[in-house]
Amino acid sequence: MSANTTLWWTLLCCASAINVVAWVASALALRRRQASVHPATRDAMRMQMALSAVYVLGCAYRSVFPVFDIRRLCLFDSQLSSVIVGRSVATVAELCFAAQWALLLRGVARSASSAPALAVSRLVLPLIALAELCSWYAVLTTDNIGHVFEETIWGLAAALLVASLAFVWPHCRRELRPALALCGVAGLAYVAYMFGVDVPMYWSRWIHDLGVGRPFLTLSQGVADASGRWIVSHHWRDWRSEVTWMTLYFTVAVWLSISLMHAPRLWAAERSRIVARPRDRAAPTRGQEFAS
């Protein structure tokens, strides 16, 4: 490999190892606290842990075997580096990541008794499933217009989530607001990146392909091509355009996924205070509604 490619790949592998250790440490910490929280909240914690585990492991796999889908580029001459395998792993992992955010928003919406935010929480996963279909279309046909639609849908889903957090902000307890603010800032940064960098990048690639008259594959041709053809390249010039989004995706996004494991604890702490006051047991509060 070139020096730059070797350094980048090594950093991705190291980050993935650290991420796995961080997930294990978080899971152990949460398990020690499970006995002291309400059963419904405990179920929410376990769901977040399971979804995060899939995402963390999926990103670790793709860090070790990175693939440039459209161009069929990889670092290793192995079936494990095929586009069809990498895209399948990515699809499962990304749906789990979207489900984490949907669960978080559902909890916030129920805590604040917000019907609009609850409706958005139910839209997140179907939107990302549609984005995954667009991604598969792009990967199989090598037509970047699929990636344009995919990244646009991801950006819109994030924008809806941020708008929902802003809507419920006045109705949430003060102790929840720092966490919501952090999620909101991360969401805004993501939206800015998607519409400022990612979508324009794929749009320019699509326009270029049309300009040079590049032929696209049919879906059936694409399945055969993505399953059995991969091109090993260690040249930095071939990977340089993918470095930014891959690095952010396999680090920052994974850290957010691990952080979401701890979200139910915010409501669990409030529930403990509520249960300690007998006069409040008859009528569930907004905090108690989170995990139900």
42 has a pLDDT exceeding 50: yes
Burial 50-75 (b: 16+ CB within 10 A, else e): ebbbbbbbbbbbbbbbbbbbbebbbb
Mean pLDDT for 114-129 is 93
Highest mean pLDDT among 1-15, 21-35, 173-187: 1-15
Condensed to tens digits (0 to 9), the pLDDT of residues 127-156 reads 999 999 999 999 999 999 999 999 999 999
282 has a pLDDT exceeding 90: no
> Model pTM?
0.86
Q: Which of 14, 20, 11, 7 is nearest to 254 (CA)?
A: 20
Backbone phi, then psi, for 215, in 5-degree steps?
A: -80, 140
- The residue ranges of DSSP E strands in the chain, in sequence order, are 67-68, 73-74, 231-232
| 231, β-bridge pairs | 73
d(CA 183, CA 177): 10
| 68, β-bridge pairs | 73
Look at 255 and 38; give whichever has higher pLDDT.
Answer: 255
**How is residue 166 written in tokens?**
């802003």
Share of the chain above pLDDT 90, in %: 67
| Residue-averaged pLDDT of the chain | 87
The pLDDT score that the predictor gives to residue 280 is: 42
**Cβ-contact 110, 289 below 8 angstroms:** yes
Would you list the domain boundaries of the chain? 3-289
Mean pLDDT for 75-85 is 93
d(CA 5, CA 234): 6
Condensed to tens digits (0 to 9), the pLDDT of residues 230-276 reads 999 999 999 998 999 999 999 999 999 999 998 776 654 444 443 44
Look at 86 and 281; give whichever has higher pLDDT.
Answer: 86
- CATH code linked to domain 3-289: 1.20.1070
